[in-house]
Amino acid sequence: MVLIAIWEIIYRIYSKDTTLFPSPLGSVQQLYIGLFDTGILATALGESMQRIIIGFSMAVIIGGILGVLLGVSKLADETLGSLVIALQSVPSIVWLPIALVVFQGGPGAIYFVVILGGTWAMTLNIRMGIKNVSPILIRAAKTMGYKNTELVWRVMLPASIPSALTGARLAWAFGWRALMAAELIGRGGLGRTLMDARDFFNMDLVVAIMIIISVIGLIVEYLIFSKIEKKVLSRWGLAKNA
């Protein structure tokens, strides 16, 4: 509250010199107009959400499959493993120029960047999870007649759920950042609307969009991931106070 008050005061002081400084009241106003009046923010939000949900799901699926492969097969790990680490250190947004050419500027380019953004974090975490399954569990399952793929499905995968969750969390974070960056350059969504707002010198709208972006981040972090994580950790017996 204090911060918002200080912001409002600074705005009052500078608004005489420039119209480019955003105000908190103006931002909330723009937020309301954009969401309920003209609906530009609502449309943009819908588009971005659709992209991140599809992109995130794809990243989790692809990353999951790759991670299991790297975790289970030594050969795959030795060949693809270092490639994944190399790719992971490249921010996915730098793929956008190539993606724009390949997908001819279509929506595929943005999906591509979002998926790339999340996949590697997911892959590396699942791989870690599978490698860290305690060998005694695998030995025990073997004495109960479990073999090969059953071991992967019944023991390794469930045992690595906690690290898969960390992977998903990171995949979301990377994917979301990649999406915003890609939309600034590409087409549609919150990122594009943000650039449009800047082009019209509507700084209140810029801030309004930033608020939406951070609120979504908060919701996903606290209402979704934190809750699932708490449940999983206590069930797996990893929580400290369980």
Q: Of 14-22, 81-89, 110-118, 230-238, which segment contacts other proteins by CB under 8 A?
A: 230-238
Report yes or no: 233 and 239 within 8 Å, Cβ to Cβ. yes
Nearer to other proteins, 80 or 141 (CB): 141
Q: Does 143 bind other proteins (CB under 8 A)?
A: yes
Instruction: For residue 242, state whether it binds other proteins (rule: CB under 8 A).
Output: yes
| 3 CB-near residues (< 8 Å, 6+ apart) | none
* Stretch 151-190: interaction string toward other proteins, x if CB under 8 A: ---xx--xx-x-----------------------------
The binder of other proteins chosen from 74, 142, 227, 231 (CB under 8 A): 142
CB distance 67 to 125 below 8 Å:
yes
Those residues whose C-beta lies under 8 Å from the C-beta of residue 169, and which sit 6 or more positions away, are 225, 229
Q: Are 77 and 167 in contact (CB under 8 A)?
A: no
Number of other residues whose CB lies within 10 A of the CB of residue 143: 7
**Binding flag, residue 65, other proteins (CB under 8 A):** no
Binding stretches for other proteins (CB under 8 A): 136-137, 139-146, 154-155, 158-159, 161, 235-237, 242
